[in-house]
Structure 1
Amino acid sequence: MPDSRPPAGTRPISAESLARLRTHLGELNTAILQRVDAALPWYRRLTPDERSHLGLVAQRGLNGFVQWFQKPGVTSGHVLADVFGEAPTELTRSISLQRALQLIRTIVEAVEAVVPEILQDRDQAAVRESMLRYSREVAFALADVYARAAETRGAMDSRLEAVLLDAVLRGQDADEIRHRATAIGWRGERQVLVMAGGAPGPDKPAYVGELRRAAARHKCDVLIGVQSERLVVVVGSVEDSTVVAAALAPWFAEGPVIVGPTVDSLTEAHVSARHVFASLSAAGAHPRAPRPTPTHELLPERVLMGDPTAREALIHGVYRPLLQAGPSLLETVDTYGLLGHSLEATARELYIHTNTVRYRLRRVSELTGWDPLVPRDAYVLHTAITVGRLAEHDAPLGGERPHGERDR
């Protein structure tokens, strides 16, 4: 005969009550489904196939309970197979973990309500106690199912994110980027920028999650990738690049953190990335740069490294506007730099009043975004004039300003 002993720690049940429990499994199952339908509004909104699947889970749970009641010491692994069948992860596609726990609680309540009608008084307490212990085993097994499903989804999402990030940085086909972005739930289609810096070491094991939460607080989407020792972040839905960059910078390792120019969409983010990677390579030449560092702060250093995007940005963003404004501004800022940034010496050299020099330098700042009275800005202006004059020997200056590097 089968072993009718209850699990260790519970009171025994008579063979008669155990037989009645077996006989009334169908009645119990019907009571459970009726209670679930009445108590859980979300259950009624499921598709017929989903409701049928949950009904099968409830039926297996009852059958498993009777078997578990006769087999002391059974493990949660057996419970997992008995209740959720060959493919337990199918449940995670129908309902959330919260709803699954609500389902278990409702099933236990339904069984407790029906037990007095089918069992003798002396066995009711034992069955209720055993049902609570069994439901605990089911809950643990359920948590394991959802944890494994979450790990699987997390690994899949990480692979999809890595593939999308690579496509974005390489500037691959726009339709492919949009398709992959939709697959991972990317919503930040407008106002996108790229950040890069050192990747944190083992002292910050949870930095990726913290970085995502920091971005979420500013209602931004992010793509995160670690390339060797470099951390690359693509940020979408950026309203204020300065504020967002400052919020995300602490999650990078010590050293420079570069912030690229804002572009209009994810499909154009490779433009921002190109400026970022060139600036990251040149950052060592400007140790006093702020952290985070906008890419335009490193234009002179990038030019010295042979970065063509920096060269074009200086020519079209600085030299060309000065050239088109007439010879006086270009001559004034050039002389001012050559004479050691002295207003009086510049005025004497050009035979003009000192106030005229100040006016012209102010106009230079308005036109280019760089103030000749600030030493670092004066260095950028001097570099731009040098690069622009060199370019005159190669080709006539003209055309539209290249996209990506913007005025401050």
Structure 2
Amino acid sequence: MPSDRAAVRRAVLAVEGHIGDLVVERIVAEIPAYRSLDVRQLAEVRAIALWVLRRFLDLWVDRAELSPDDLLRVRGIGAARAADGRPLPSVLRAYRVAANTAIDRIVELVEPMLTVADAIAFTRLWLSSFDQLTESIYEGYSVSAERLTADRDRAVRDFFDDLLAGRQAHPGAAADRSRALGITLPSPATLLLAERNEGARLAKELGVGESALVTARGPRAVLLMPALDDAVVRKALDAVGCRGCAIRPPRADTLVDAYRLATLTLDLAPADAYEGGPLLGESDGHALALLAGHPAEPEIVARHLLGALLDPGQEHVREGLDAFLAAGSATTAAANVGLHPQSLRYRLRRVRELTGRDPRRSWDRFVLGLGSRIAASLRTTEE
């Protein structure tokens, strides 16, 4: 009498989580290339192994074969591994280890439920399908690797576009793809969004050469490069004759947020925001985001808008700034707080030194005033 294949499938799927954990454990133990994977990447390995297991069980129960869609999905997995830079022999070996581990555990679990004929049918299905799987992995991997090698510049640009869109946001995935492309993501970095699509010219003016990632988004150029002083970026923008916004993302996985903030800044910045030159920055972006109604933590916004003015020991400088913002002139402000005009002007110079903003310019005065109001409200709440 044939065994109840559906019952066997249910028995195996009841413990599929245990099988998935066992497969990952065995792969990591036997294949050195997989020992450096992070938690997210190992979770992906586990998810793929369980998908293959479920498909084989379904095919065995239904007496069917792998479909073209199944093989297309496997080719995609092979292509992704090429982009990650994982060695092909290690990838193929991982599938063999997973297959052997899963089969051994399945036999232990359901051997009493299987007839000899059904056990042989399961083994034959696994072997024949495994050949198809490995061929598809090889094909997807080879095509992807060939494209990466043949058009490296395009591959690097595609990678940068993925980072900007958040498609390679996880640090482990970004590191894998960087290694495959033979590049190093700058850290610390500057992300520059320029109004004109002059990425190559800007890179030359900035002196960053091949150390920068460059792409275009519509009429704008986007560059990711080693952290540069704002004065250097301003000079390059002046040379090219365009405006821009520079953000310093803390990590590759926050690049998408930096790009969105830079885009919002250039989209919404009023003309007087450029009184101090062609370059806007993170504090401009946060002020504009707040005006646009984007939710934000007040403490974080205040720190971005006022910077070192919030540091301990700068209370007298903030007091002078607040007086000037309220009065509109240094002379009147000095009189209002009982200071000599020169003392107040000194404090305003310190504001410029600490923030890079001149409270005499309309946009800078607005940003400093907004930050000062937020800081004051936070102090009132604390009291």
Query: Normalising by the residue count of structure 1, what TM-score does the alignment of the two structures yield?
Result: 0.46
Larger Rg: 1
Query: Normalising by the residue count of structure 2, what TM-score does the alignment of the two structures yield?
Result: 0.48
